[in-house]
Amino acid sequence: MDVDSGLTPEFYAKERYTLQFRAEAFNFTNTPHLANPGGTVSNLQTNPDGTVKNLAGFAQVTAVANAGRDGIDQRQFQFGMHIRF
């Protein structure tokens, strides 16, 4: 889950001018989006006595999921200023 937030204060100068400052944060908590773990048990390797030697990727997360933001998943900040007169 992403936490996106924004802050937009306005400042008034005289009667005609308004200055608006914008600060926006996307994925503010910098949460990784991990893909599902491996679910194939058929590739496991066993020792000669029958005990498990290597699970060959079973239950291991080896990739990240597509977050739907054009491959950008890290925390981002965006700033802007708007002057109205």
| Residue 25 pLDDT > 70 | yes
Whole-model pTM over 0.85:
no
Q: Which residue has the higher pLDDT, 66 or 24?
A: 24
pLDDT average, residue stretch 81-85: 93
pLDDT band per the 50, 70, 90 thresholds, residue 72: low
Query: DSSP states of the chain as a string?
Result: ----EEE--EEEETTTEEEEEEEEEESTT----BPPPB---TT-EE-TTS-EEE-TTBT---SB---SSTT--S-EEEEEEEEE-
pLDDT band per the 50, 70, 90 thresholds, residue 74: confident
